[in-house]
Structure 1
Amino acid sequence: MHRVVSKVMIVNSKSQVLMAKVSRGFFKGYWTLPGGFVDYGEHPREAAVREAMEELGIEILIDDPKGENGEAFGEDDGAIIREEIFNEDGINWVSFTYRCKGEFEDSEIVPKDDEIEEARWFSKKDALGVAVSIFDIEAISTIE
């Protein structure tokens, strides 16, 4: 079985990263970067933007330096593409993790009731301390 997921690492001016505590699914009870499955025919960048809106109620903009979704803009989308095969589960995961800047107050972040328990800003050190996904850990490690 193949699974394609897209995530986004939203970093604020304090170099904090926004993470969500998941309330269902494989990572239930754990902190992850916002994201989810890529729909058929959807570009992973578009999926990351959609997931941020669905899960946290926030509108983000991810740089598109190559113009993959139309007009090119920005310098760096921070894209990390990684494949992992989990033989015990019989699943081949392909993960796209993008990076964008974002300044959101707690009152602007509205977690989706049936998916996200809460959302919070973390320092790089604290985010690495709570992250469990290998995809998230790799992305968070790139924060300067």
Structure 2
Amino acid sequence: MNQFGPATHKLIAHALIQHEGNYLLIKRSTIKRGKPNVYPEFFDIPGGGVERFETPREAAVRESLEETGLPVLLDRLLHEDSQLDKAKGIVFTRLVYEAKIVGELTGITLDPEEHTEFRWISHLSDISDEKIVLYLHDLIPEKGHLI
């Protein structure tokens, strides 16, 4: 326990979807369900909070389907990080799984309340003029570098 009292924990699960050598990124909306969005207009990957009685893997699959319309199959855990938001008294822990599309890619359906566009990229340099959430720098290679 610290001076702010006990911190609560929030688990977030994401899927890094790969298809034919490219990674799917989705751009966060400015306003989400009537409130300012976290990291507005930043490119991110599908993901969100793990719900009660749900595993992180189940959450990553659910969030991918909800946010893109794509059913995915998860492979290995690629990334973990945690951050303390002192103002909220919450420790956020993010898990990112490698994901592949189940079946054929038929199209992507975004919820405009959450995301405004998507892009398939092979390297971060493909969108160097855009805002990108920081943790993606650990997951997607820069041009000429392998991760």
TM-score (norm 1): 0.75
| Helix, strand or coil at the partner of 2:111 | coil
Distance 1:99 1:85, change over 3 A: same
1:96 aligns with 2:108: no
Q: CA deviation at 1:119?
A: 1.2
Contact map agreement 1:57 1:112 (CA 8 A) in 2: no
Corresponding position of 1:37: 49
Distance in structure 2 (CA, Å) of the matches to 1:90 and 1:109 = 36
1:2 aligns with 2:9: yes
Distance in structure 2 (CA, Å) of the matches to 1:98 and 1:118 = 22
Output the amino acid matched with 1:34.
P
Distance in structure 2 (CA, Å) of the matches to 1:121 and 1:46 = 24
Corresponding position of 2:78: 79
Greater fraction helix:
1
1:49 aligns with 2:61: yes
Q: Deviations over 1:82-132 (max 9, x none)?
A: 212243554311001001233865x61011121111111012233673453
Output the amino acid matched with 1:60.
V
The unaligned stretches of length 5 or more in structure 2 are: 1-7
| Helix, strand or coil at the partner of 1:58 | coil
Farther-moved stretch of structure 1 (134-143 vs 38-47): 134-143
Whichever of the two has the greater Rg, that structure is: 2
Distance 1:29 1:18, change over 3 A: same
Distance in structure 2 (CA, Å) of the matches to 1:46 and 1:131 = 28
Contact map agreement 2:43 2:132 (CA 8 A) in 1: yes
Percent sequence identity is 26
Output the amino acid matched with 1:11.
Q
Q: How does 1:120-131 map to 2 (within 5 A)?
A: 120-126=119-125, 129=128, 130=130
Contact map agreement 2:78 2:97 (CA 8 A) in 1: yes
Contact map agreement 2:13 2:49 (CA 8 A) in 1: yes
Distance 1:104 1:21, change over 3 A: farther
Query: Which residue of 16, 19, 39 maps to 1:12?
Result: 19
Contact map agreement 1:3 1:92 (CA 8 A) in 2: yes
| Helix, strand or coil at the partner of 2:83 | strand
Distance in structure 2 (CA, Å) of the matches to 1:131 and 1:48 = 23
